[in-house]
Amino acid sequence: MQNQTLKEQLAISIRMMEQANHIDFNGHMSARVPETDFILINSAGASRSTLTADDVIMIDLQGNVIEGDGRPPNEFPLHTQIYKRRIDIQAITHTHPRWSTMFTIAKIPLRPVVIQGAVLGDIPVFPKSQSISEQEIANDLAEKLAGHHIILLKSHGAVITGTTIVETFVRSVFLEENAYRQYMASQLGYAHSLEDEDIQLTKNVIWQPNNIQKIWDYHGWRIIFF
């Protein structure tokens, strides 16, 4: 995929996350430039709701701007330190999701309660709530993420990863949907988790390319018509 196409896809994903209330005036997303040590990331000063490919810059793994105008977000080490450790990860987003973050504030584990939650896997919680803007804390976060694709940041937000921008966005959607349903069910009583057997059967059906693309397309149409 050419860099321009990646930039456009990254910009669309950020606009969709802003409309879905996964990010606000903050939040950022990045993608590896294939076969390089560079990443694409939205510039710090760009509005998330109107972001275009022109607002996406290229940086190296030390945070130096290689291409584009502007500077990277202050929390760029969050991205670079994960990329250094995880060659399987090609896209990362740092969100400030309303429902998922609430569970870290209440210190209540987020569990798979609906079929979307079946694909999320175990979700660790990073115990520090400050900005991930320094190498040391970013290293700690990357280590805690380990073999997971999602980690919640206590009283702060979430870090979500994937092998593509589309996959990463859809994980963000499923994370919030599951958290919302768990919270709403808890108002009626105990929110029961899916059974292990249901999780295994369900995730193999849901996490298919056509279903992932369907979620992406749905949110894509919403930023055009709403």
Beta-sheet strand order (sheet of 28-32): 65-67, 56-60, 38-42, 28-32, 91-95, 157-162, 150-153, 125-126
Q: Is 224 a residue whose pLDDT tops 80?
A: no
Q: Is 1 a residue whose pLDDT tops 60?
A: no
- Across the chain, mean pLDDT equals 95
Degrees to nearest 5, angle at CA 111 with 24 and 132: 40
Largest CA distance in the chain: 53
Cα separations (Å) of 188 from 11, 100, 115, 183, 184?
Answer: 39, 19, 19, 9, 7
Which two structure tokens, joined as six digits, stand for 38? 């560079």
CA–CA gap between residue 190 and residue 97 (Å, rounded): 22
pLDDT at 222: 84
| Nearest in space to 10 (alpha carbons), one of 98, 25, 33 | 33
pLDDT at 223: 85
- Fold type of domain 3-225: L-fuculose-1-phosphate Aldolase (3.40.225)
Give tens-digit pLDDT for 93-123.
Answer: 999 999 999 999 999 999 999 999 999 999 9
- Burial code (b: 16+ CB inside 10 Å, e: under 16) for 182-197 equals bbeeeeeeebeebeee
Q: Is 73 a residue whose pLDDT tops 90?
A: yes
pLDDT at 25: 86
Q: Is 126 a residue whose pLDDT tops 90?
A: yes
β-strand partners of 40? 31, 58
Taking residue 102's Cβ as centre, other Cβ atoms within 10 Å add up to: 16
Sign of the alpha-carbon dihedral angle for 104, 112, 99, 19: positive
Give tens-digit pLDDT for 154-181.
Answer: 999 999 999 999 999 999 999 999 999 9
| Nearest in space to 99 (alpha carbons), one of 194, 28, 14, 22 | 22
